[in-house]
Amino acid sequence: MSSRVLFMDVLKRFNVKVFGEGEQYMLFAHGFGCDQHMWRYMTPAFEKQFKILLFDYLGHGKSDSTAYQPERYSSLQGYADDVISICKALSIHDAIFVGHSVSAMIGALAANKQPEVFDKLIMIGPSPCYINEHEYHGGFSREDIESLLNSLESNYLGWSSAMAPVIMGNPDRPQLGEELENSFCRTNPEIARQFAQVTFLSDNRVDLAKLNVPTLVIQCSEDVIAPLEVGQYVANQVQNSTLSILEATGHCPHLSEPDETIAAIKDFLIVEGEPVG
């Protein structure tokens, strides 16, 4: 397969979109059950200074679900390898990676495997492990997670309807929860079931200490999916990290409070020397 064909195959498979006026790439990676449309409030703030790259994981958005291989995606490393393959196809290096929720850990795995590709990581609502264990507080008991996964397995649409408002928070703005629910419902349900299992049962705590790129941890003041203790844990484990605690609540501040989220990212990039206006 020629490099040109491989390039086009990767762009089509992950519905890659590239725009912006800068030279340095800024990749935005969506969370579980979402797609690149979720970044629409964020990207205008950065497209003057950076080359923006959006994509959809397989089974999400307008990606090619037929390329999905259950074995490959039995761990988050499969998704991290997809991020690397996108970067390789476009000859990307020294990129800024913005990952929401599970994509924060996907970005960490990708950066640990190919550190030259990444200049900085920005983690929005990260959690390396959702299950409480000994002194570690992930926010859920194993029974909680098993119940959540059983509910998702037995009735995905019902689970989406029930969980989306909880994940989003901000009950005074129900349209936000409705958008997340609609996004969940558009996701390939078979792929979503496996992705949920991999997401909620993964333990990436040991991977945090291996990170060797400057990292911003963005934590909401209230988040049922990734509690405050989790954000603090991530920041403590990553050797070169900055913790930004937002006034925003819920698990999706890039949708509920984009201005505050943008400001946190710009403050971090200015400190790190990026030319952000």
Per-residue pLDDT of the chain (277 residues; tens, 9 = 90+): 556 656 678 899 999 999 999 999 999 999 999 999 999 999 999 999 999 999 999 999 999 999 999 999 999 999 999 999 999 999 999 999 999 999 999 999 999 999 999 999 999 999 999 999 989 999 999 999 999 999 999 999 999 999 999 999 999 999 999 999 899 988 999 999 999 999 999 999 999 999 999 999 999 999 999 999 999 999 999 999 999 999 999 999 999 999 999 999 999 998 666 656 5
Phi, psi of 230 (to 5 degrees): -70, -45
Q: Residue 96 has what pLDDT?
A: 98
Q: What is the DSSP letter of 60?
A: S
Residues in CB range of 121: below 8 A, 6 or more apart = 96, 97, 99, 104, 107, 108, 111, 211, 213, 214, 215, 216
Q: Residue 18 has what pLDDT?
A: 96
Structure tokens at 233: 């844990």
* Angle between helix 3-13 and 76-89 (nearest 10): 130
Phi, psi of 28 (to 5 degrees): -115, 120
Q: Residue 256 has what pLDDT?
A: 97
- List, in sequence order, every beta strand (DSSP E) within 107-197: 118-124
- Indicate if 56 belongs to the active site: no
Residue from 101, 127, 160, 183 carrying the catalytic annotation: 101
Q: Residue 273 has what pLDDT?
A: 65
Q: Residue 270 has what pLDDT?
A: 87
Global pTM value: 0.94
Residue from 241, 251, 254, 256 carrying the catalytic annotation: 251
Q: Residue 6 has what pLDDT?
A: 65
| pLDDT tens digits for range 178-199 | 999 899 988 999 999 999 999 9
Q: Hey, what domains does the chain have and what are their CATH numbers?
A: 3-271 (3.40.50.1820)
Q: What residue spans of 14-155 are helical by DSSP H? A: 76-89, 102-113, 142-154
- Indicate if 85 belongs to the active site: no
Distance CA 118, CA 129 (A): 23
Strand-pairing partners, residue 29, are 99
16, 54 contact by CB (below 8 A): yes
Q: Is 70 exposed, middle or buried (0-12, 13-18, 19+ CB in 10 A)?
A: exposed
Distance CA 231, CA 233 (A): 5
Structure tokens at 246: 């937002």
Residue from 35, 56, 119, 223 carrying the catalytic annotation: 223
- Indicate if 160 belongs to the active site: no
